[in-house]
Amino acid sequence: MDFILNISHILFIVYAIIIGSLGNITYRAEKNLPIKPIWLRVLWGCFALAVYLTALQKYLKVEELDLINTFPIFLLGFLSEMMAKILPDLVEKYIKNKAGGNNEKK
């Protein structure tokens, strides 16, 4: 696999991080939460982009970056903090179920 980064890919990544960050800022503004520090919002934007690109490549087998598909990045940026709060509980429940941790006597 060749790792070739075109200018269009760099612009898409920067644009998508901005869109994900704006989604997170919108969530925080809606909940009347503080928006500062802005670098943390950019990191949530990166998280939204990473989740989106992982889903595109792994589940949908899409390997092209497209500007039309940026609304899900905004949505993931909006929901990223909620996902980060819920995800550890889901993983813990999944691990307990796989390891047989539900041995409650009835």
User: Tens of pLDDT along 70-90?
Assistant: 788 888 889 888 888 898 899
Q: Residues 36-74: pLDDT tens digits?
A: 898 999 999 898 888 888 888 888 887 776 667 778 888
CA-CA distance, 47 to 45, in Å (whole number)? 5
| Residue 83: closest CA among 75, 98, 96, 30 | 75
Unique residue bearing structure tokens 């800022």: 25
Tokens of 54: 């992982």
Tokens of 18: 């901005």
What are the sequence ranges of the domains in the chain? 7-99
Helical ranges in 1-106 per DSSP H: 7-30, 38-58, 71-99
CB of 27 closer than 8 Å to CB of 79: yes
Tell me the pTM: 0.72
